[in-house]
Structure 1
Amino acid sequence: MSLKVAVSLPDLTFTRAGGLRTQFERTTEELEKLGCEITYFTGANFEELRSVDLCHIFSMNSPTYFKGIALKKLNKPLVYSSVMWRESKPVFIRTLLNLSDALPFKIFNDVVACRDLSRLSDVILPNTNQEKEWLRKAIGVDPKKMLVVPNGADNRFKNSNLDEVDLNLPFDDFVFSSCVVYQRKNLVRLADACLENGFPLVIAGPIEDEGIFDLIQKKAERGLSVKFLGGLANDDVMLGALYKRCRVFALPSFYETPGISALEAGLQGGNIVVTKVGGAEQYFGEYARYVDPYDKRDISDKLADAWHNPLSQRQKEELASHIADKYSWLAVAQHTKQVYEEVVNGKI
Structure 2
Amino acid sequence: MKILLNSNNSGFQAPGGGEILLSKTKEFLLKKGIDVKLFDQWNDKLEDFDILHNFGLSNNCYDVINVAHNKKVPIAITPIYSWPSLKFAFKSGTNFKDKVKLGGYALTHNTPFFNRFTYASKMLNMADRIITDSKAERDVIDNSYKLNKDKYRVIPYAIDRRFYDSDSKEFVEKYGLKDFILYTGRIEPRKNVHKLIKIVNKLKYPLVIVGGKNYQEGDEYYKLCVKEAGDNKDIIFLDRFDHDSTMLGSAYAAAKMVALPSWLENPGLSVLEGGLAGANILITSRGSPKEYFENYAHYVDPFDDKDIEKKLVLAYEKDKDNKLREHILNNFTWEVATDRMIKCYKDLLN
**What TM-score results when the alignment is normalised by the length of structure 1?**
0.87
Kindly report the root-mean-square deviation, in angstroms, between the aligned alpha carbons of the 2 structures: 2.2
Amino acid at match of 1:13: G
- Give, as a single letter, the amino acid of the residue that structure 2 aligns with 1:242: A
Is 2:332 the counterpart of 1:324? no
Indicate the residue corresponding to 1:51 in structure 2.
Answer: 48
Matched residue SS, 2:18:
helix
Offset at residue 332 of structure 1 (A): 1.2
- Cα displacement (A) at 1:271: 0.4
1:5-84 residue pairs with structure 2 within 5 A?
5-47=3-45, 49-84=46-81
In structure 2, the residue matched to 1:302 is 311
Q: Which amino acid aligns with 1:17?
A: P
Query: How do residues 1-348 of structure 1 correspond to structure 2 at under 5 angstroms?
Result: 3-47=1-45, 49-88=46-85, 92-93=107-108, 96-99=111-114, 112-158=118-164, 161-163=167-169, 165-166=171-172, 168-169=174-175, 172-207=178-213, 208=215, 209-221=218-230, 223=232, 225-311=234-320, 313=321, 317-345=322-350
CA distance in 2, matches of 1:279, 1:99: 25
Could you say what secondary structure the match of 2:315 adopts? helix
CA 125–95 in structure 1, closer or farther in 2 if over 3 Å, else same = closer
Does the 8 Å contact 2:164/2:325 carry over to 1? no
Q: In structure 2, how many angstroms separate the alpha carbons of the residues matched to 1:167 and 1:141?
A: 53
Distance (Å, rounded) in 2 between the aligned partners of 1:161 and 1:99: 50
Aligned equivalents of 1:100, 1:155: Cα separation in 2 = 39
Distance 2:128 2:153 in 1: 11
Cα deviation for residue 81 of structure 1 reads 0.7
CA contact (8 A) 1:7 1:38 kept: yes
Partner AA of 2:340 in structure 1: H
The residue aligned with 1:109 is none
Cα 1:269–1:96 change in 2 (3 A) is: same
Deviation per residue, 1:108-151 (Å, 9 max, x gap)? xxxx1111111111110011111111101123333332111111
Which ranges in structure 2 are unaligned for 5 or more consecutive residues? 87-104
Mapped to 2, the partners of 1:219 and 1:46 lie a distance apart of 47
Letter in 2 for 1:98: F
Supply the distance in 2 between the matched residues of 1:71 and 1:140 (Cα, whole angstroms).
22
Contact 2:271 2:283 in 1 (8 A): yes
Q: Write the distance in 2 (CA, Å) between the matches of 1:73 and 1:94.
A: 25
Aligned-partner Cα distance in 2 for 1:341–1:303: 44
Instruction: Give the residue type in structure 1 aligned to 2:34.
Output: C
Residue deviations 1:142-174, cap 9 Å, x none? 333211111111133555543354354465432
Instruction: Write the distance in 2 (CA, Å) between the matches of 1:259 and 1:132.
Output: 17
Given residue 272 of structure 2, which amino acid in structure 1 is its aligned partner?
L
Share of identical aligned residues, percent?
26
What secondary structure does 1:180 align onto? Answer: coil
SS of the residue 1:263 aligns to: helix
Q: Deviation of residue 93 (structure 1)?
A: 4.5
Alpha-carbon separation, structure 2, partners of 1:14 and 1:331: 25
Question: What TM-score do you get using the length of structure 2 for normalisation?
Answer: 0.87
Amino acid at match of 1:339: C
- Give me the whole-angstrom Cα distance separating, in 2, the residues matched to 1:50 and 1:255: 36
Measured in 2, the distance between the counterparts of 1:100 and 1:210 equals 30
CA gap of 1:40–1:94, structure 2 versus 1, over 3 A, is: closer
Deviations along 1:217-243, one digit per CA (max 9) or x if unpaired, are 222336473111111011322221221
Aligned-partner Cα distance in 1 for 2:159–2:26: 14
- Give the Cα–Cα distance (whole angstroms) in 2 for the partners of residues 159 and 282 of structure 1: 24
